[in-house]
A and B are shown apart, each in its own frame.
Chain A
Amino acid sequence: MTTRLAHGIASGVSFLFAILLVIPASAQSPADKEQLRRGEYIFHAADCYSCHTDTEHHGPELAGGAPIKTPVGTFYPPNITPDARFGIGGWSDADFIRALREGVSPDGHNFYPVFPYGSFTKMSDRDILDLKAYIFSLPAVSAPSHPHELPFYLRWRLLVSGWKILNFVEGPLKPDPTKDPKWNRGRYLAEALAHCSECHSPRTITMGIDRSAAYSGNPSGPDGKTIPNITPDDSGIGSWSESDVAYALKTGATPDGDVLGSFMGDVIEHGTRYLTDDDRAAIAHYIKSVPPIHRVLRTAD
Protein backbone atom coordinates (compact mmCIF):
# COMPACT_ATOMS: atom_id res chain seq x y z
CA MET A 1 0.00 0.00 0.00
CA THR A 2 2.84 2.38 0.75
CA THR A 3 4.36 1.73 -2.69
CA ARG A 4 1.06 2.40 -4.41
CA LEU A 5 0.62 5.63 -2.44
CA ALA A 6 4.16 6.71 -3.27
CA HIS A 7 3.54 6.00 -6.94
CA GLY A 8 0.30 7.89 -6.79
CA ILE A 9 1.91 10.93 -5.21
CA ALA A 10 4.78 10.80 -7.69
CA SER A 11 2.45 10.72 -10.70
CA GLY A 12 0.31 13.44 -9.22
CA VAL A 13 3.28 15.72 -8.65
CA SER A 14 4.71 14.98 -12.11
CA PHE A 15 1.35 15.79 -13.61
CA LEU A 16 1.25 19.10 -11.77
CA PHE A 17 4.76 19.97 -12.97
CA ALA A 18 3.75 19.13 -16.51
CA ILE A 19 0.81 21.48 -16.28
CA LEU A 20 2.97 24.24 -14.81
CA LEU A 21 5.42 23.90 -17.70
CA VAL A 22 2.66 24.02 -20.27
CA ILE A 23 0.76 26.95 -18.81
CA PRO A 24 3.45 29.66 -19.24
CA ALA A 25 3.98 28.65 -22.89
CA SER A 26 0.32 29.15 -23.67
CA ALA A 27 0.09 32.22 -21.47
CA GLN A 28 1.28 34.39 -24.38
CA SER A 29 -1.65 36.65 -25.14
CA PRO A 30 -2.80 37.34 -28.69
CA ALA A 31 -1.44 40.86 -28.12
CA ASP A 32 2.06 39.49 -27.37
CA LYS A 33 1.96 37.27 -30.43
CA GLU A 34 0.90 40.25 -32.51
CA GLN A 35 3.80 42.31 -31.17
CA LEU A 36 6.27 39.55 -31.99
CA ARG A 37 4.86 39.29 -35.50
CA ARG A 38 5.29 43.05 -35.99
CA GLY A 39 8.73 42.94 -34.39
CA GLU A 40 9.86 40.15 -36.69
CA TYR A 41 8.75 42.16 -39.70
CA ILE A 42 10.71 45.20 -38.52
CA PHE A 43 13.70 42.94 -37.83
CA HIS A 44 13.68 41.94 -41.48
CA ALA A 45 13.06 45.45 -42.80
CA ALA A 46 15.98 46.80 -40.77
CA ASP A 47 18.02 43.66 -41.46
CA CYS A 48 19.77 43.47 -38.09
CA TYR A 49 20.71 39.93 -39.07
CA SER A 50 23.18 40.65 -41.87
CA CYS A 51 25.47 42.87 -39.78
CA HIS A 52 25.10 41.27 -36.37
CA THR A 53 25.53 37.67 -37.56
CA ASP A 54 28.68 36.20 -39.07
CA THR A 55 26.89 35.03 -42.20
CA GLU A 56 30.11 34.04 -43.94
CA HIS A 57 31.03 31.46 -41.30
CA HIS A 58 27.45 30.48 -40.42
CA GLY A 59 27.78 32.03 -36.96
CA PRO A 60 24.89 31.92 -34.47
CA GLU A 61 22.12 34.43 -35.10
CA LEU A 62 22.85 37.94 -33.79
CA ALA A 63 25.83 36.75 -31.72
CA GLY A 64 28.24 39.11 -33.48
CA GLY A 65 29.01 39.86 -37.08
CA ALA A 66 31.97 39.63 -39.41
CA PRO A 67 34.29 42.66 -39.30
CA ILE A 68 33.32 45.71 -41.35
CA LYS A 69 36.32 47.51 -42.78
CA THR A 70 35.79 51.25 -43.20
CA PRO A 71 38.10 54.13 -44.10
CA VAL A 72 38.42 54.94 -40.38
CA GLY A 73 38.94 51.48 -38.94
CA THR A 74 37.51 47.99 -38.63
CA PHE A 75 34.31 47.54 -36.66
CA TYR A 76 32.92 44.32 -35.25
CA PRO A 77 29.11 44.35 -34.89
CA PRO A 78 28.44 43.13 -31.33
CA ASN A 79 26.38 40.33 -29.86
CA ILE A 80 22.82 41.61 -29.55
CA THR A 81 21.18 38.37 -28.45
CA PRO A 82 19.28 38.56 -25.14
CA ASP A 83 22.25 37.08 -23.30
CA ALA A 84 22.55 38.81 -19.96
CA ARG A 85 26.34 38.82 -19.88
CA PHE A 86 27.55 39.20 -23.47
CA GLY A 87 24.44 40.46 -25.22
CA ILE A 88 21.71 42.97 -24.45
CA GLY A 89 19.73 40.79 -22.08
CA GLY A 90 20.10 43.31 -19.30
CA TRP A 91 18.66 46.19 -21.32
CA SER A 92 15.38 47.79 -20.38
CA ASP A 93 12.88 49.13 -22.91
CA ALA A 94 14.16 52.64 -22.20
CA ASP A 95 17.76 51.48 -22.82
CA PHE A 96 16.83 50.03 -26.19
CA ILE A 97 14.92 53.12 -27.26
CA ARG A 98 17.84 55.30 -26.20
CA ALA A 99 20.28 53.17 -28.18
CA LEU A 100 18.36 53.49 -31.44
CA ARG A 101 16.97 57.00 -30.91
CA GLU A 102 20.13 58.68 -29.52
CA GLY A 103 23.01 56.32 -30.24
CA VAL A 104 23.87 55.99 -26.54
CA SER A 105 24.48 52.77 -24.61
CA PRO A 106 22.90 51.93 -21.21
CA ASP A 107 26.13 52.91 -19.48
CA GLY A 108 26.07 56.28 -21.19
CA HIS A 109 28.73 56.00 -23.87
CA ASN A 110 28.21 56.88 -27.53
CA PHE A 111 27.94 54.19 -30.15
CA TYR A 112 30.14 54.61 -33.18
CA PRO A 113 27.82 55.62 -36.01
CA VAL A 114 28.81 52.59 -38.04
CA PHE A 115 25.80 51.42 -36.07
CA PRO A 116 23.37 53.42 -38.21
CA TYR A 117 21.37 55.13 -35.47
CA GLY A 118 21.39 58.16 -37.77
CA SER A 119 18.70 56.22 -39.59
CA PHE A 120 17.13 54.23 -36.74
CA THR A 121 16.48 57.46 -34.83
CA LYS A 122 13.71 57.98 -37.39
CA MET A 123 11.78 54.93 -36.15
CA SER A 124 8.65 55.28 -34.06
CA ASP A 125 8.76 54.30 -30.38
CA ARG A 126 6.33 51.47 -31.04
CA ASP A 127 8.46 50.01 -33.83
CA ILE A 128 11.57 50.18 -31.64
CA LEU A 129 9.79 48.35 -28.81
CA ASP A 130 8.28 45.75 -31.13
CA LEU A 131 11.76 45.09 -32.49
CA LYS A 132 13.14 44.70 -28.96
CA ALA A 133 10.39 42.22 -28.08
CA TYR A 134 11.24 40.13 -31.12
CA ILE A 135 15.00 40.18 -30.50
CA PHE A 136 14.38 39.18 -26.88
CA SER A 137 12.41 36.17 -28.08
CA LEU A 138 15.46 34.80 -29.92
CA PRO A 139 18.01 32.44 -28.31
CA ALA A 140 20.60 34.00 -26.03
CA VAL A 141 24.15 33.21 -27.12
CA SER A 142 26.93 33.48 -24.60
CA ALA A 143 29.69 34.79 -26.88
CA PRO A 144 31.70 37.93 -26.17
CA SER A 145 31.74 40.69 -28.79
CA HIS A 146 35.01 41.40 -30.53
CA PRO A 147 36.48 44.84 -29.81
CA HIS A 148 36.73 47.29 -32.70
CA GLU A 149 40.13 47.87 -34.30
CA LEU A 150 40.57 51.62 -34.51
CA PRO A 151 43.55 53.95 -34.81
CA PHE A 152 44.50 55.44 -31.43
CA TYR A 153 43.06 58.87 -32.24
CA LEU A 154 39.55 57.43 -32.71
CA ARG A 155 39.38 55.36 -29.55
CA TRP A 156 37.78 58.08 -27.45
CA ARG A 157 34.04 57.78 -27.76
CA LEU A 158 33.86 61.43 -26.72
CA LEU A 159 34.83 62.19 -30.31
CA VAL A 160 31.50 60.76 -31.38
CA SER A 161 29.82 63.64 -29.54
CA GLY A 162 31.57 65.92 -32.01
CA TRP A 163 30.43 63.72 -34.88
CA LYS A 164 26.87 63.95 -33.61
CA ILE A 165 26.96 67.74 -33.45
CA LEU A 166 28.00 67.86 -37.09
CA ASN A 167 26.08 64.97 -38.56
CA PHE A 168 23.31 63.62 -36.33
CA VAL A 169 19.70 64.76 -36.41
CA GLU A 170 17.76 63.00 -33.70
CA GLY A 171 14.07 62.15 -33.79
CA PRO A 172 11.35 60.09 -35.43
CA LEU A 173 10.30 60.76 -39.01
CA LYS A 174 7.16 62.80 -39.45
CA PRO A 175 5.06 62.10 -42.55
CA ASP A 176 5.17 64.73 -45.28
CA PRO A 177 1.53 65.90 -45.69
CA THR A 178 2.18 67.04 -49.27
CA LYS A 179 3.01 63.49 -50.36
CA ASP A 180 0.84 60.41 -50.73
CA PRO A 181 0.74 57.56 -48.16
CA LYS A 182 2.72 55.22 -50.46
CA TRP A 183 5.58 57.72 -50.66
CA ASN A 184 5.56 58.29 -46.92
CA ARG A 185 5.52 54.55 -46.21
CA GLY A 186 8.37 54.09 -48.72
CA ARG A 187 10.39 56.85 -47.10
CA TYR A 188 9.89 55.38 -43.61
CA LEU A 189 10.94 51.92 -44.81
CA ALA A 190 13.96 53.22 -46.73
CA GLU A 191 15.19 55.88 -44.33
CA ALA A 192 14.22 54.64 -40.87
CA LEU A 193 14.38 50.86 -41.26
CA ALA A 194 16.27 49.57 -44.31
CA HIS A 195 18.68 52.51 -43.95
CA CYS A 196 19.64 52.30 -47.65
CA SER A 197 21.29 55.68 -47.54
CA GLU A 198 23.92 54.54 -45.05
CA CYS A 199 25.63 52.41 -47.73
CA HIS A 200 24.36 54.06 -50.90
CA SER A 201 25.38 57.65 -50.07
CA PRO A 202 28.84 59.18 -50.20
CA ARG A 203 30.36 60.34 -46.92
CA THR A 204 31.74 63.73 -45.95
CA ILE A 205 35.19 64.22 -44.50
CA THR A 206 33.72 63.77 -41.01
CA MET A 207 32.10 60.49 -42.16
CA GLY A 208 28.61 61.85 -42.09
CA ILE A 209 26.20 61.14 -44.94
CA ASP A 210 26.59 63.73 -47.69
CA ARG A 211 22.92 64.61 -47.87
CA SER A 212 23.36 66.81 -50.95
CA ALA A 213 24.35 63.66 -52.84
CA ALA A 214 22.14 61.17 -51.04
CA TYR A 215 21.80 57.73 -52.68
CA SER A 216 24.36 58.51 -55.38
CA GLY A 217 26.66 55.71 -54.32
CA ASN A 218 29.89 55.41 -52.36
CA PRO A 219 33.25 54.49 -53.89
CA SER A 220 34.63 53.77 -50.40
CA GLY A 221 31.93 51.55 -49.03
CA PRO A 222 32.27 48.82 -46.41
CA ASP A 223 35.20 46.50 -47.08
CA GLY A 224 36.38 48.93 -49.75
CA LYS A 225 33.58 47.99 -52.11
CA THR A 226 32.04 50.41 -54.57
CA ILE A 227 28.38 50.86 -53.67
CA PRO A 228 26.16 51.76 -56.65
CA ASN A 229 24.33 54.99 -57.40
CA ILE A 230 20.61 54.32 -56.91
CA THR A 231 19.26 57.76 -57.79
CA PRO A 232 16.96 57.91 -60.85
CA ASP A 233 19.71 59.24 -63.12
CA ASP A 234 21.09 57.36 -66.14
CA SER A 235 24.24 56.77 -64.14
CA GLY A 236 22.04 55.24 -61.45
CA ILE A 237 18.75 53.40 -61.79
CA GLY A 238 17.12 55.84 -64.20
CA SER A 239 16.31 53.05 -66.65
CA TRP A 240 14.63 50.96 -63.94
CA SER A 241 10.89 51.15 -63.48
CA GLU A 242 9.36 51.09 -60.00
CA SER A 243 8.34 47.50 -60.59
CA ASP A 244 11.95 46.66 -61.56
CA VAL A 245 13.14 48.04 -58.22
CA ALA A 246 10.42 46.25 -56.26
CA TYR A 247 11.14 42.94 -57.99
CA ALA A 248 14.90 43.27 -57.42
CA LEU A 249 14.23 43.77 -53.71
CA LYS A 250 12.20 40.56 -53.76
CA THR A 251 14.51 38.18 -55.64
CA GLY A 252 17.68 40.06 -56.57
CA ALA A 253 16.93 39.84 -60.30
CA THR A 254 17.77 43.03 -62.19
CA PRO A 255 16.01 44.26 -65.35
CA ASP A 256 19.06 43.40 -67.47
CA GLY A 257 18.93 39.74 -66.56
CA ASP A 258 21.62 39.90 -63.90
CA VAL A 259 21.28 39.21 -60.20
CA LEU A 260 22.45 41.34 -57.30
CA GLY A 261 25.17 39.79 -55.18
CA SER A 262 27.67 40.81 -52.54
CA PHE A 263 26.22 42.84 -49.67
CA MET A 264 22.96 43.54 -51.48
CA GLY A 265 22.48 39.79 -51.83
CA ASP A 266 22.51 39.55 -48.03
CA VAL A 267 20.14 42.51 -47.68
CA ILE A 268 17.65 40.81 -49.97
CA GLU A 269 18.14 37.30 -48.59
CA HIS A 270 17.75 38.33 -44.93
CA GLY A 271 15.76 41.51 -45.29
CA THR A 272 13.69 42.84 -48.14
CA ARG A 273 12.66 39.40 -49.35
CA TYR A 274 10.41 39.20 -46.28
CA LEU A 275 8.53 42.41 -46.92
CA THR A 276 5.09 42.56 -48.50
CA ASP A 277 4.81 43.35 -52.21
CA ASP A 278 3.14 46.63 -51.24
CA ASP A 279 6.03 47.64 -49.00
CA ARG A 280 8.62 46.84 -51.66
CA ALA A 281 6.55 48.85 -54.12
CA ALA A 282 6.51 51.73 -51.62
CA ILE A 283 10.29 51.63 -51.24
CA ALA A 284 10.62 51.62 -55.04
CA HIS A 285 8.19 54.53 -55.29
CA TYR A 286 10.23 56.56 -52.80
CA ILE A 287 13.66 55.69 -54.20
CA LYS A 288 12.57 56.60 -57.73
CA SER A 289 11.50 60.02 -56.38
CA VAL A 290 14.81 61.12 -54.84
CA PRO A 291 16.78 63.83 -56.70
CA PRO A 292 18.67 62.30 -59.64
CA ILE A 293 22.41 62.76 -59.28
CA HIS A 294 24.84 62.12 -62.08
CA ARG A 295 27.69 60.07 -60.68
CA VAL A 296 29.34 57.25 -62.60
CA LEU A 297 30.94 54.59 -60.43
CA ARG A 298 32.43 51.26 -61.44
CA THR A 299 29.94 49.29 -59.44
CA ALA A 300 30.38 46.31 -57.20
CA ASP A 301 28.11 43.48 -58.24
Chain B
Amino acid sequence: MKGVQTCWWAVPLLAAAVILVAGSIAGAQEKVSKDRVPAASKARSDFMKSNAEEVKILTSVAKGEAPLDAKTVAAAEKVNANSSELLSHFPAGSGDDVLPKDRAKAVIWKEWSKFTGLADNFKKATGALVVAAKSGDVKEFNAKKDQVDQACGACHKSYRGDLKK
Protein backbone atom coordinates (compact mmCIF):
# COMPACT_ATOMS: atom_id res chain seq x y z
CA MET B 1 0.00 0.00 0.00
CA LYS B 2 1.28 3.43 -0.85
CA GLY B 3 0.48 4.87 2.67
CA VAL B 4 2.59 2.29 4.52
CA GLN B 5 5.49 2.74 2.12
CA THR B 6 5.60 6.49 2.71
CA CYS B 7 5.20 6.37 6.50
CA TRP B 8 7.43 3.33 7.10
CA TRP B 9 8.70 4.95 10.31
CA ALA B 10 5.18 4.92 11.72
CA VAL B 11 5.35 1.22 12.45
CA PRO B 12 8.41 1.19 14.73
CA LEU B 13 7.24 4.48 16.29
CA LEU B 14 3.85 2.96 17.05
CA ALA B 15 5.53 -0.15 18.44
CA ALA B 16 7.72 1.99 20.70
CA ALA B 17 4.69 3.94 21.90
CA VAL B 18 2.81 0.75 22.70
CA ILE B 19 5.78 -0.59 24.66
CA LEU B 20 6.15 2.66 26.62
CA VAL B 21 2.46 2.82 27.46
CA ALA B 22 2.37 -0.84 28.40
CA GLY B 23 5.44 -0.29 30.55
CA SER B 24 3.88 2.62 32.41
CA ILE B 25 0.63 0.73 32.90
CA ALA B 26 2.57 -2.21 34.30
CA GLY B 27 4.14 0.21 36.78
CA ALA B 28 7.64 -0.12 35.51
CA GLN B 29 9.88 2.46 37.10
CA GLU B 30 13.56 3.00 37.15
CA LYS B 31 15.08 0.44 39.47
CA VAL B 32 17.91 1.39 41.81
CA SER B 33 20.92 -0.91 41.94
CA LYS B 34 21.39 -2.83 45.17
CA ASP B 35 24.57 -1.02 46.18
CA ARG B 36 22.78 2.32 45.95
CA VAL B 37 19.82 1.26 48.09
CA PRO B 38 21.22 2.40 51.49
CA ALA B 39 21.90 5.87 50.08
CA ALA B 40 18.43 6.03 48.51
CA SER B 41 16.92 4.95 51.82
CA LYS B 42 18.80 7.65 53.73
CA ALA B 43 17.93 10.31 51.18
CA ARG B 44 14.26 9.41 51.50
CA SER B 45 14.40 9.47 55.28
CA ASP B 46 16.22 12.86 55.27
CA PHE B 47 13.67 14.20 52.82
CA MET B 48 10.76 13.19 55.06
CA LYS B 49 12.44 14.63 58.16
CA SER B 50 13.08 17.95 56.46
CA ASN B 51 9.46 17.97 55.34
CA ALA B 52 8.40 17.39 58.94
CA GLU B 53 10.23 20.58 59.99
CA GLU B 54 8.04 22.59 57.65
CA VAL B 55 4.88 20.77 58.72
CA LYS B 56 5.63 21.67 62.35
CA ILE B 57 5.35 25.34 61.43
CA LEU B 58 2.04 24.74 59.68
CA THR B 59 0.65 22.74 62.63
CA SER B 60 1.47 25.55 65.08
CA VAL B 61 -0.53 27.95 62.95
CA ALA B 62 -3.43 25.51 62.62
CA LYS B 63 -3.55 25.16 66.40
CA GLY B 64 -3.75 28.91 66.77
CA GLU B 65 -0.35 29.05 68.47
CA ALA B 66 1.45 30.97 65.76
CA PRO B 67 0.24 33.71 63.40
CA LEU B 68 -0.61 33.06 59.77
CA ASP B 69 2.11 35.08 58.08
CA ALA B 70 4.86 35.04 55.46
CA LYS B 71 6.70 32.32 57.36
CA THR B 72 3.60 30.14 57.04
CA VAL B 73 3.40 30.76 53.31
CA ALA B 74 7.07 29.85 52.91
CA ALA B 75 6.56 26.60 54.84
CA ALA B 76 3.48 25.72 52.78
CA GLU B 77 5.37 26.41 49.55
CA LYS B 78 8.24 24.22 50.69
CA VAL B 79 5.88 21.32 51.48
CA ASN B 80 4.19 21.79 48.12
CA ALA B 81 7.57 21.71 46.38
CA ASN B 82 8.39 18.55 48.34
CA SER B 83 5.21 16.92 47.10
CA SER B 84 6.55 17.16 43.54
CA GLU B 85 9.88 15.67 44.60
CA LEU B 86 8.31 12.85 46.63
CA LEU B 87 7.99 10.08 44.03
CA SER B 88 11.62 10.46 42.96
CA HIS B 89 12.55 9.20 46.43
CA PHE B 90 10.78 5.90 45.83
CA PRO B 91 12.86 4.11 43.19
CA ALA B 92 11.85 0.50 42.68
CA GLY B 93 13.90 -1.96 44.71
CA SER B 94 14.51 0.38 47.68
CA GLY B 95 11.85 -0.99 50.05
CA ASP B 96 11.94 -3.15 53.19
CA ASP B 97 12.12 -6.36 51.15
CA VAL B 98 15.59 -5.26 50.02
CA LEU B 99 16.63 -3.23 53.10
CA PRO B 100 14.79 -4.63 56.14
CA LYS B 101 15.39 -1.56 58.34
CA ASP B 102 13.72 0.71 55.83
CA ARG B 103 10.14 1.70 56.56
CA ALA B 104 8.94 1.86 52.97
CA LYS B 105 6.85 -1.26 52.57
CA ALA B 106 7.47 -3.46 49.54
CA VAL B 107 3.75 -3.32 48.79
CA ILE B 108 4.25 0.27 47.54
CA TRP B 109 5.67 -1.03 44.29
CA LYS B 110 3.02 -3.74 43.99
CA GLU B 111 0.35 -1.04 44.28
CA TRP B 112 2.28 1.64 42.42
CA SER B 113 -0.67 3.25 40.64
CA LYS B 114 -2.54 3.52 43.94
CA PHE B 115 0.57 4.96 45.60
CA THR B 116 1.10 7.54 42.87
CA GLY B 117 -2.59 8.45 43.17
CA LEU B 118 -2.09 9.20 46.87
CA ALA B 119 1.06 11.17 46.08
CA ASP B 120 -0.99 13.19 43.62
CA ASN B 121 -3.62 13.86 46.32
CA PHE B 122 -0.83 15.12 48.55
CA LYS B 123 0.35 17.42 45.79
CA LYS B 124 -3.14 18.81 45.26
CA ALA B 125 -3.75 19.25 48.99
CA THR B 126 -0.49 21.11 49.56
CA GLY B 127 -1.20 23.29 46.53
CA ALA B 128 -4.54 24.27 48.04
CA LEU B 129 -2.80 24.96 51.34
CA VAL B 130 -0.44 27.44 49.68
CA VAL B 131 -3.42 29.30 48.23
CA ALA B 132 -5.12 29.35 51.64
CA ALA B 133 -1.95 30.52 53.38
CA LYS B 134 -1.54 33.39 50.91
CA SER B 135 -5.17 34.42 51.39
CA GLY B 136 -4.57 35.07 55.08
CA ASP B 137 -7.90 33.39 55.91
CA VAL B 138 -7.18 31.38 59.06
CA LYS B 139 -10.33 29.27 58.85
CA GLU B 140 -9.60 28.34 55.26
CA PHE B 141 -5.98 27.57 56.15
CA ASN B 142 -7.06 25.26 58.99
CA ALA B 143 -9.46 23.40 56.73
CA LYS B 144 -6.81 22.91 54.06
CA LYS B 145 -4.19 21.90 56.65
CA ASP B 146 -6.59 19.20 57.86
CA GLN B 147 -6.75 17.85 54.30
CA VAL B 148 -2.96 17.87 53.99
CA ASP B 149 -2.74 15.86 57.22
CA GLN B 150 -5.24 13.38 55.83
CA ALA B 151 -3.21 13.09 52.63
CA CYS B 152 -0.04 12.40 54.67
CA GLY B 153 -1.94 9.86 56.76
CA ALA B 154 -3.34 8.04 53.75
CA CYS B 155 0.14 6.93 52.68
CA HIS B 156 1.60 6.48 56.12
CA LYS B 157 -1.27 4.27 57.23
CA SER B 158 -0.80 1.64 54.55
CA TYR B 159 2.70 2.13 53.22
CA ARG B 160 4.95 3.02 56.11
CA GLY B 161 6.09 0.11 58.26
CA ASP B 162 6.76 0.15 61.97
CA LEU B 163 10.09 1.18 63.42
CA LYS B 164 12.01 -2.06 63.29
CA LYS B 165 12.66 -3.63 66.68
A residues with a Cβ closer than 8 A to B are 225-226, 243-244, 247, 250-253, 255-262, 265-266, 268-269, 298-301
- Cβ of B42 within 8 Å of any chain A Cβ, yes or no, is no
Residues of chain B from 140 to 165 with CB closer than 8 A to chain A in the complex? 145-146, 149-150, 152-153, 156-157, 160-165
Counting contact residues on chain B (CB < 8 A from A), the size range is: 20 to 34
Whether the Cβ atoms of A253 and B55 lie closer than 8 Å is: yes
Closest chain B CB from A35 CB (angstroms): 29
Given A244-B63, A255-B56, 9 more contacts at CB 8 Å? Answer: A225-B162, A226-B165, A251-B62, A253-B59, A257-B56, A258-B55, A259-B152, A259-B153, A261-B153
Whether the Cβ atoms of B59 and A250 lie closer than 8 Å is: no
- Cβ of B65 within 8 Å of any chain A Cβ, yes or no, is yes
Q: CA separation between A231 and B108, bound complex, in Å?
A: 33
Whether the Cβ atoms of B160 and A250 lie closer than 8 Å is: no
Closest chain B CB from A211 CB (angstroms): 26
- Cβ of B39 within 8 Å of any chain A Cβ, yes or no, is no
Contact A266 B157, CB 8 Å, known A226-B165, A251-B150: yes
Whether the Cβ atoms of A226 and B55 lie closer than 8 Å is: no
Whether the Cβ atoms of B165 and A261 lie closer than 8 Å is: no
Chain A residues within 8 Å of B62, by CB: 247, 251, 253
Whether the Cβ atoms of B153 and A250 lie closer than 8 Å is: no
Chain B residues within 8 Å of A256, by CB: 52, 56
- Cβ of B103 within 8 Å of any chain A Cβ, yes or no, is yes
Chain A residues within 8 Å of B157, by CB: 261-262, 265-266, 269
Q: CA separation between A244 and B64, bound complex, in Å?
A: 11
Closest chain A CB from B48 CB (angstroms): 9
Whether the Cβ atoms of A252 and B59 lie closer than 8 Å is: no
Whether the Cβ atoms of A251 and B162 lie closer than 8 Å is: no
- Cβ of B53 within 8 Å of any chain A Cβ, yes or no, is yes
Chain B residue, CB-CB nearest to A262: B157
Whether the Cβ atoms of A247 and B59 lie closer than 8 Å is: yes
Chain A residues within 8 Å of B149, by CB: 251-253, 259
Whether the Cβ atoms of A261 and B51 lie closer than 8 Å is: no
- Cβ of B54 within 8 Å of any chain A Cβ, yes or no, is yes
Whether the Cβ atoms of B63 and A247 lie closer than 8 Å is: yes
Chain B residues within 8 Å of A253, by CB: 55, 59, 62, 145, 149, 152
Chain A residues within 8 Å of B54, by CB: 257
Chain B residues within 8 Å of A243, by CB: 63, 65
Whether the Cβ atoms of B165 and A251 lie closer than 8 Å is: no
User: 5 interchain pairs (CB within 8 A)?
Assistant: A251-B145, A251-B153, A257-B55, A258-B55, A261-B153
Chain B residues within 8 Å of A258, by CB: 52, 55
Whether the Cβ atoms of A265 and B52 lie closer than 8 Å is: no
Whether the Cβ atoms of A300 and B52 lie closer than 8 Å is: no
Chain B residues within 8 Å of A250, by CB: 146
Whether the Cβ atoms of B153 and A265 lie closer than 8 Å is: yes
Chain A residues within 8 Å of B52, by CB: 256-258
Chain B residues within 8 Å of A266, by CB: 157
Chain A residues within 8 Å of B165, by CB: 226, 298
Chain B residues within 8 Å of A301, by CB: 103, 156, 160-163
Contact with A along B62-73 (1 / 0, CB 8 A): 110100000000
Q: CA separation between A258 and B163, bound complex, in Å?
A: 13
Chain A residues within 8 Å of B162, by CB: 225-226, 262, 299-301
Closest chain A CB from B63 CB (angstroms): 5
Closest chain A CB from B82 CB (angstroms): 12
Chain B residue, CB-CB nearest to A219: B165
Contact A252 B55, CB 8 Å, known A262-B157, A299-B163, A301-B162: no
Contact with A along B129-149 (1 / 0, CB 8 A): 000000000000000011001
Contact A252 B152, CB 8 Å, known A243-B63, A257-B53, A298-B165: yes
Q: CA separation between A243 and B64, bound complex, in Å?
A: 10
Contact A252 B163, CB 8 Å, known A243-B63, A243-B65, A258-B52: no
Chain A residue, CB-CB nearest to B154: A265
Chain B residues within 8 Å of A244, by CB: 63
Closest chain A CB from B114 CB (angstroms): 12
Closest chain B CB from A285 CB (angstroms): 15
Chain A residues within 8 Å of B145, by CB: 251, 253
Chain A residue, CB-CB nearest to B49: A257
